[in-house]
Homo-oligomer: A and B are copies of this chain.
Amino acid sequence: MAAPIDFYFDFSSPYGYFASTKIDALAAKHGREVVWRPFLLGAAMKITGGAPLPSVPLKGDYAKRDFARSAKYYGVEYKLPSTFPIASQAPARAYYWVNRKDAKQAKALAAALYRAYFVDDINISNADDTVAVCARFGLNADAARAAINDPEVKELVKAEVDKAVGRGAFGSPYIVIDGEAFWGADRLEQVERWLASGGWKY
């Protein structure tokens, strides 16, 4: 079986959210698994000198329209959160905490966290709100809260972020298939053709 596809994303990224609703089904069609790897865009921006989209003149205004229009294009429920963008340490920690024991459950939790933020306007940058999502998801609230504050989990997230950036992830989503990187929900068509053809020379 071919190596799994790496799906890097930030919980604060609308394009990461859109891609997260498509990537597993797309990969499965071609017999591939996907490993979800949340990371922190802020760490990449320190290297690229990038800034959060809404703060960029011209581009920021465009981005808000493009988020909403792209959601409609992809057929994904979406509402610009009241607070956007956000620091996404809390959901990333919750994710990697669960992922240590159960990758499948962690992925389902990530989907729930994305929905909480981009559909229900819950500010998951707050530890309490991420804990509440975890609880509704069926996890123990106290254990989730402890995990988010656990130095070991914090270190684990930091290590994952370093690995992601080390692999070149500078945006969200950033999808790596057999060493080939694809940036953006708008590269899913190329991802599809890549998988269908087993890669192509260029």
Contact = CB atoms under 8 A, between A and B. Distances in A.
B187 A186 contact: yes
Please classify the interface of chain A as helix (H, G, I), strand (E, B), loop, or mixed, using the class held by over half of its residues: helix
Interface in A53-89: 56-59, 61-62, 65-66, 68-73
Interface residues on A, range: 35 or more
A190 B34 CA distance: 26
A109 to B, nearest CB: 28
Copies in the complex: 2
Interface string A39-55: 00000100111110000
A168 interface: yes
A30 interface: no
Nearest to A168: B58
